[in-house]
Each structure stands twice: as structure tokens, then as C-alpha cells.
Structure 1
Amino acid sequence: MTADDPSASAPPPPPVAVAVVGGGVSGLVAARELALAGVEVRLFDAGDRPGGRLRGERLGDPAPPDAGPEIDIGAEAFATRGGVVAAYLAELGLAGEIVSPAPLGSWLVSSSGAVRLPAAGTVGIPTEPLGRPSVRALGVLGALRAAVEPALPRSVGRGGSLGAAVSARLGSRVLERLVRPVVLGVHSREPAEMPIDAVPGLSEAFARHGSLVAAARELRDGRSAAGGAVAGLRGGMATLVAALEAELRGLGVEIRTGVAVAGMERTAPDAWALSDGAGRRIAEARAVILAVPETVARRLLGAEPALPEGRVEVVALRVADSRLDAAPRGTGALVASDAAPGIAAKALTHVTAKWPHRAAGGDGATDHVLRLSYGRLGREPETAGLSDEEVLRLAVRDASRILGIELRPESVRAMRRREWLVGRAPGASGRGVPLPAPPDVALAGDWVSGTGLASVIPGAREAAAHIIDRLGGTPHRTGQHTGEAARGAARETPRQTRREGAPER
């Protein structure tokens, strides 16, 4: 070590058993599994606070950052399929906080107008093609085309992407008016880029029945539909992040925010050294979990670069307009591709209609929260490079056209915007060479296990279980309730979350 070495000014950090890189829900879940198994863990996150896409934002009026109701600026619900997320929330003592959205239904906006979406089994596939809602959405010919799907040979649509299978078996109208808007809204990617098995349960149900309509019905009846039934948390999805953070503190996990891990090298057969952007060594660990985007994981492991992730921007508006009390588009609307260029947003959520208990966060009966989503995989979001004033004008225009109500810019009391990265689905086209990870490194995130908490949580637990096994430990039993104990410990344990640059406590 020389005087010019950037790490010379600080003593080397004490070694830790496992370093978790990334403080989104994947990293937090993996860190919890490790800590419950008695493994010493240190978690690093580049952001100012953990949570990733489950973070909340204040939608204040006027500008103090702590004013106004808190909203979900990222994920605002979870799929109920399989009960995976509900069981995990119960482990954290949050079962009583689970709420269902208002039963208002959602809409589809296309060039031919706005129609209520039919009840779907999964990713927009209609379960009753000749039902009135399906006929309204698809037209008579489109509904008839979809209705004959169960009579088609099993071989039709096999071996291709989700988009190709839907088009071949159900017709282009089902693809363009139902499946494509749902997949873009939920997964931010084109159905043509997704294999059928990227949708949990769909490939297996299709194999059993030889029909996508029958498969969708099975998934609906089994409450395992992706893009189907959802639930949320009374205080917003950020409640999950707060509970995980509290439990990690109670378990003695150090969370270091504001630390971007930029380098990773093996220093011994059973040791890794992590460094920051200035080359300073920030951790030594026997094993590492990379709960980061695929491009970051590949760079840290020195692997072949991947195609860049997609970018999505969420724009949230707090609007004072009593005409929204009637929830003209129910809980929200998806935008069909043929609605462009008239509407740039791909979806709108009427937050205070979908989650009525959140409306009390405002200070007036006519305050409403609207969320618009922009961008999809392979394309820049339409908001990229725009100033806040330009984004406000675009969002008000899009919301007006989607809702069928001419909103006034002056009715917007506050706006927040947040951009997110969206990885490619496992098995999706364009993924390139698979990323090989050393035995003492595990990968976690939506690009590894699939989109949504119902996929991400089990994936993160599997990553942690792999590392625990590697270290010779025993994972804790799934379903074991730890929330109350952890919160009690958190009240008695000094806070372990430390912002980079802050003094050690």
C-alpha cells in the first residue's frame, strides 16, 4: 500500500460473512434470510434509503418534502397468486395490513374509445370471450375469434413467445387490446419478447388443457393469475420496506446507504473484496449476494455486457377536481397501442379510487392522486429529457384524454416523478449469454426470478438459501413468525442504518 493508494487513508473494514449489494426488496429479503440463519450480514445500497421500487414519496402542497400524503411512487400492489406474498407479510406481522382494491374495475382506452376491461385469468387473456365485457373490448368478430380458441389443435402457438401464442390462438385483437396493454403495464416489455413460461403457471396450465382460455380460467379459479387479482398494504407498499428494515436492525444487520459498490475482486479462495467508485475497499466477505440490475451484476463479475435495462418513469399528480369523485375510469386504465400518438402514457392508476383508505391523506374531499406510467423495454420513456413543466403538461394532457375529463393544469397541487430500471424477463429474447456466477455469489432481482413480489420474494430467499448452504448453515423455516420479536428488538437496539459519510455510532 502506498500513500497514493486511495484506500491508504482508512483502515480496512472488518470482514463480514456475507455482503448484500442492493437494498431493494430483493436485497432486504435476502439479508433477512441470512440474518435469521445466524449469518453476519452487511448490506450496501447506492440510494439515500433502502426500498428500491417499493419506496414512498410525499406528494406535498406546496413544496416541503415532508408535506402532503405519502404515496407509492413505484410498485403500489402485489399479485395475490399462490398466496406467496401474503404468507411473507404474515411472517413480518403485517397480515392485518393487507387490503383489497375497490371493486370498481379498470378500463381500456384505444383509438375507438374507452371500454371496461373484462375479467381476465392472467395477463389479459379473457376467460369468457363471449361475455359482454369481452365483446365490448374486442368487438363481435374479435370475441368470436377468441371463442373458438379451445377448439384449435394443441400444436397451434407452441414453441414461440407469449405474443406469438396469443396472436395465433386468440387473434390479433386479444393481443393488441387486452394482452399487450396488460403486459406492458405490468412487465414494461413486449409480449413478443416474453416466453410463455415467464408468466407463472401459464405454461403448465396450457400444457394440461391445450387452450389458453382454459388455462386462464384455471389460474383465475386457483387465484394464481399474474396480471389478475392484486392486493396492497393499508399504509402503502413502503410499509413492507419499513418492516424489513426494522427487523434487520433488530437482527444486527448493518445497512449502509449512499454506497455504490463499483468493484469486486477475489482476494482468496473464500474471500471477496468490494470497493467503491474511488477504489476504496469498503468490505471483505466470504460470500456475496448481488441484488442489483443485470448490467451492474455483469460489470462487477467481469462478465460479457448485457443489453441495457429498460427505463420507466412514473409521474404522480395530486389533483383538486371534484369531477374525479365519480372515478370515471374505475381504478385506472390501460392504453392500447392504437391510441398513440394521442396518448403517450401506457397506463393510469386512479390511486385514491383504487385505495379509498389512502384518500384521507389529502386535506380536502376533492383531492385525488393519479399515477401515469411512461416507457417500455427497448424505448426511452416519453418523458425523457423533459423539464418538470413539460412533464406536467404532458401528464395533464394524457390524464384528460384517458379519463375523458379536461383537467386544468392549475388544478394540480403537486407532482412527483421517479424513473426506474426494468430488467428483461428470465428467458426473454435478447437476453444474450447467461450470467455465470461463482459458487459463493448469488444473484437476485426481477431479471433473475421474474416480475412482481410473488416472484421476487421466493427468488431472493432461494439466493440466500444457496449462500447459507455454501457457508454450512441452515435456513430458517418458511412461515416462521418473527415480526413482533424483531420490532421489539429494534426498539432496544441502536439503529444500524448508516448513511455514507455519517459518523459511526
Structure 2
Amino acid sequence: MSTRITVAVVGGGIAGLVAARELALGGAEVSLYERASELGGRVRSTALAGAPIDIGAEAFATRGGAVMQLIEELRLASEVVRPEPLGSWVVTEERSLPLPPGGALGIPSAPLGRASRRVLGTWGALRAALEPLLPRDRTVDRATTLADLVRRRLGERVLDRLVRPVALGVYSTAPEELSLSRLRDLAEAYEREGSLIRAARSLRDSSSAAGGAVAALRGGMAGLVTALAADLERLGVSIHTGHSVEHLGTFAPDGAEPADTILLATPEVTTRALLASSDADSVGDDQPRELQPGTRVEVIALAIEDSRLDAAPRGTGALVAPGTPGIAAKALTHVTAKWADRRAMRDSSVHVVRLSYGRAGSEPETVALSDAEAYELARQDASRILGVELRADAIRDAARKIWVTSTATDANQPLTPQPGIGLAGDWVHGTGLASVVPGARQAARALLAEAQHTLNESDESQVRST
């Protein structure tokens, strides 16, 4: 009798691909099932003006080193590129200003610095600078929201002018909805330092700031998906795309035997539905709750021929404060200013910008618009954000894509699946590849250890019975 552990991985996004690889490296026989026709989830590219462009995730945070470790294992280290040091901006109702460098989630590491004073004003900067002198707040725990903590310790100006735009841009979630349980790096740094300013400095120095130090792959992040898929093929993983899993007991193709264990790398709403279909007692909530599928975000990319953009008027891009009149987008990335390799792939006169729409609690402003209407709105928004009136006839190409972003589960309503099932994904481990990649590897290792323990117990039982 074979003692090789069999595992089914449901979900072919980055979490599923990384988990499947880790399981195969651990000696398991792995099958991966993905509903879509393509692997990669929100890491996806599309053609724009004759060259590929990231229409999903465009970079990874370097904090923790887990993504770089994976990239090195996949022999892609020579393909890593860094953004141009141009800085980014924040656009508010009053004006557009460069964001203070460093820090974490908009929390300034140098509140009395010139950039911070320009955004916060003298009073707001002084209020923030006094924060390290405040006594440690013993009432703060992982259920405390980012908004509550920042308001108490740094004041309303830091919250509204810096933290809110960054939180909405990075997490598509208002700081009132972001608990510290979802911001593990910041929560741990605050617990250690007892001050948000000192925590921001600590994260800056360790390259751990969310939305801070980032890198990408030459030509786009889709190269990571290609490399992972090739490595899974080398490791003998069976990949099934276009295969929708509706019930955990019925998805094995061609009459194959059910897997020993299952790893679900699917959104929370899908995961809970699958677990409920398998075992009504596995969901883990005392009371059933209505689950939303996630926050919908639309990305629109424009290829623009306009020499006035050569000066990168908003650096690598800008975050837009909520309620800014005349701008529906929440963020803009000047792709060809931020990434030199993307600029080299195109005619030097063509610039690429990406605009993001949709904040937590509301649909993207573009969702009901035709392509022509959506691209016109994006042109107008880009004009106002960049401070350059872009002509309609300067748009050389455009693309759009709607994504559903998951959110980390509420720490007060944990999901506890039955033995033999593991969970991975951004709603489990946090937003961004820097959280998803190590989380998926950890989940795979834990599942393998559990399966091996069960197998050893079974073998010992058979020996005793003989």
C-alpha cells in the first residue's frame, strides 16, 4: 500500500500555486483545481499598445523577504526590478502634495520633516510629533481599528490626510474597518515600541512598511505565475483549469480516489460554502452570517502619447483622498515613470497610467459604464490627478478589468475547518504577496505535518492489530 499523501488544492491564484508547490516539495501527490481558464488569480497581464501591462497586482512588498526567497528558488532573481525613486503624491480637495517618504500606512516617520509639514500643516505636524511622548495605551488590542488608534495618538489630520488615502489605496478598505488583527506588522511594531511614530520608523528601517518598499519582475508580475506553473509541472502536480469545485466530496476528475487532505485557497465566501457543503458543523460560527463576496475594484490602464508626462508630474503616482471633487478614481500609477523596464518596452513618447476605482462599501464608479464611457472618465480623472489636461486623441490604447478583493477574516469570527483541510489566501493571511506567500507555505507545511501524523497513527494501529 502506497504511503504517499495525496492533496487536492482548490484555487489557482498565487496562494494556491505556492501551496501546491510546497506540498509537492514535501513529497505529496498534488492535484490543483482552478475555476478560471488561466492560473494566477489577480496576478494577470494584458496587451496595451503592443506590450504587456499588469492589469492586476503590479509589484510585491519586500517586507519579510518571503517573496524574494520564492523568486530566488524559481531562479528569477536576475529579473527583479526596483521602482524609480520619484516618490508618490496625495491629491486632496485643497491641493496635491508629495507624500512624506518612509513610514507605514501613511503614518509619518518624520512628522516635522518638510514633506510632512506641507501635508499636515504646522499644527498637525506638531500634534503628530508629540506622539512618542504619550504614555503607552494599554487598551489597544488586535480588535482596535487603525482609525481609532491613529486618531487617538496622532490626530485627525494624520488620519484624514495621510492614513485614509493609503489604507484605501492599499487595502481598498477605510481605516475604520481595518483592525490591527489584519495589520500584523504594524500591530507587532506598536506593541514593541509603544508609539506609532517609532513603529513607523522601525518598519521603515526593516523595509516592512505596507505600501513602502516594493519590487517587481521585469516585464510584469505575470512572470511569477509562469514560473510557478512550470515548476509545478516539473514537480508532477496535476493542474485542472476550467474546473469549478462545488462540493468537496465530488470534485475528483475521471473517477479518481478522493484526496487524503484538501487545501482551500479560495475567497472566504467560497471557502465557507464549500465547508458547509461538506460538514455543516465545520464553519465555526455560533450564528450564521451573511457573507459578501468581497470588494469589487476596477483597474483601467491608458496608453497616452503626451510629452508633458515625460516630467512625471506626480512621481510614480498618486493616492486620492475620499471626497476629492471631480475625481472618481482612488489612485493612479504612472507605470512608465515608476518602472524603467516598462518604459523601455514602448516608444518613448507613449506613457502608461493605471487608475483604480472602487472602495470598500461601494461599487466602482465605472462598473455600469461602457468601455468608451469608462475610458473617458479615466482620461478626465488622469488629467485632474496629473495636473495635465490630456486630450482624447492622445489616448493610444486602453484596457479594463474588474477584480474582487478578499479581506482578512474577522478575528472574532474565526473559521475552524475539520481536520484534513487547510486554508490559505489573502483573507486568511493578509493583503499582498508579502503576506500571502509565507501564509500559503505555512498552511501547506501544517497540512503535511497533520497528514503525516495521521498516516503514522494509522500505520501503528495496523501493526498493533497484526
CA shift digits 1:416-449 (9 cap, x unpaired) = 1111111222446xxx732221111111100000
Which one of the candidate residues 17, 23, 39 is aligned to 2:12?
23
Cα distance in 1 for residues equivalent to 2:422 and 2:271: 10
CA shift digits 1:46-74 (9 cap, x unpaired) = 112101111111114xxxxxxx1111111
Q: How many residues align?
A: 438
Which one of the candidate residues 36, 54, 58 is aligned to 2:47?
58
What is the deviation of 1:200?
Answer: 3.2
What is the deviation of 1:168?
Answer: 1.1
Which one of the candidate residues 148, 165, 178 is aligned to 2:149?
165
Counterpart for residue 503 of structure 1: none
AA partner of residue 436 (structure 2): V
Cα distance in 1 for residues equivalent to 2:136 and 2:255: 57
Q: Is the 8 A contact 2:5 2:260 kept in 1?
A: yes
The alignment's TM-score, normalised by the length of structure 1, stands at 0.83
Counterpart for residue 390 of structure 1: 373
Which one of the candidate residues 105, 108, 121 is aligned to 1:139?
121
Counterpart for residue 246 of structure 2: 262
**1:295 and 2:279 are equivalent in the alignment:** no
Cα distance in 1 for residues equivalent to 2:37 and 2:392: 31
Matched position secondary structure for 2:96: strand
AA partner of residue 181 (structure 1): P
**1:34 and 2:33 are equivalent in the alignment:** no
Q: Is the 8 A contact 1:331 1:350 kept in 2?
A: yes
AA partner of residue 128 (structure 1): A
Q: Is the 8 A contact 2:298 2:366 kept in 1?
A: yes
Counterpart for residue 194 of structure 1: 178
What is the deviation of 1:351?
Answer: 0.4
Moved more, 103-112 or 215-224: 215-224
Cα distance in 2 for residues equivalent to 1:281 and 1:199: 43
Closer, same or farther in 2 for the Cα pair 1:415/1:27, shift >3 Å?
same
CA shift digits 1:284-333 (9 cap, x unpaired) = 32211111110111111114452331111111111111111111100000
Cα distance in 1 for residues equivalent to 2:295 and 2:7: 29
Cα distance in 2 for residues equivalent to 1:16 and 1:467: 10
Counterpart for residue 342 of structure 1: 326
Q: Is the 8 A contact 2:124 2:157 kept in 1?
A: yes
Q: Is the 8 A contact 2:15 2:440 kept in 1?
A: yes
Cα distance in 1 for residues equivalent to 2:5 and 2:439: 23
RMSD: 2.0
Counterpart for residue 91 of structure 2: 109
Unaligned 5+ segments in structure 2 are: 277-282, 455-466
What is the deviation of 1:264?
Answer: 2.0
Moved more, 303-312 or 224-233: 303-312
Closer, same or farther in 2 for the Cα pair 1:168/1:47, shift >3 Å?
same
AA partner of residue 274 (structure 1): F
Matched position secondary structure for 1:122: coil
Which one of the candidate residues 251, 257, 260 is aligned to 1:286?
260
What is the deviation of 1:192?
Answer: 1.1
| Aligned 1:48-447 pairs, distance under 5 A | 48-60=37-49, 68-155=50-137, 158-159=140-141, 160-265=144-249, 273-274=250-251, 284-302=258-276, 303=283, 304=288, 305-339=290-324, 341-362=325-346, 364-427=347-410, 433-447=413-427
Cα distance in 1 for residues equivalent to 2:361 and 2:256: 34
Closer, same or farther in 2 for the Cα pair 1:473/1:360, shift >3 Å?
farther
Cα distance in 1 for residues equivalent to 2:453 and 2:194: 43
What is the deviation of 1:110?
Answer: 0.4
Cα distance in 2 for residues equivalent to 1:136 and 1:306: 41
Cα distance in 1 for residues equivalent to 2:398 and 2:374: 9
Matched position secondary structure for 1:288: strand
Q: Is the 8 A contact 1:334 1:348 kept in 2?
A: yes
Unaligned 5+ segments in structure 1 are: 1-14, 61-67, 266-272, 475-505
Cα distance in 2 for residues equivalent to 1:388 and 1:281: 44
CA shift digits 1:388-417 (9 cap, x unpaired) = 111011101110000001111221111111
Moved more, 307-316 or 122-131: 307-316
What is the deviation of 1:383?
Answer: 1.1
What is the deviation of 1:281?
Answer: 7.1
Cα distance in 2 for residues equivalent to 1:259 and 1:16: 22
What is the deviation of 1:282?
Answer: 7.9
CA shift digits 1:361-411 (9 cap, x unpaired) = 22x211111000111222111111111111011101110000001111221
Cα distance in 2 for residues equivalent to 1:411 and 1:179: 34
Closer, same or farther in 2 for the Cα pair 1:27/1:190, shift >3 Å?
same
Matched position secondary structure for 1:284: coil
CA shift digits 1:191-232 (9 cap, x unpaired) = 111122422322222122221001111111122222211111
Cα distance in 2 for residues equivalent to 1:342 and 1:157: 40
Cα distance in 2 for residues equivalent to 1:387 and 1:250: 43
Q: Is the 8 A contact 1:194 1:425 kept in 2?
A: no
Cα distance in 1 for residues equivalent to 2:398 and 2:261: 42
Q: Is the 8 A contact 1:145 1:170 kept in 2?
A: yes
Matched position secondary structure for 1:126: coil
Matched position secondary structure for 1:183: helix
Cα distance in 2 for residues equivalent to 1:471 and 1:182: 41
AA partner of residue 375 (structure 2): L
Cα distance in 2 for residues equivalent to 1:48 and 1:80: 30
Cα distance in 2 for residues equivalent to 1:238 and 1:439: 34
CA shift digits 1:110-132 (9 cap, x unpaired) = 01111000013211100110100
What is the deviation of 1:161?
Answer: 0.7
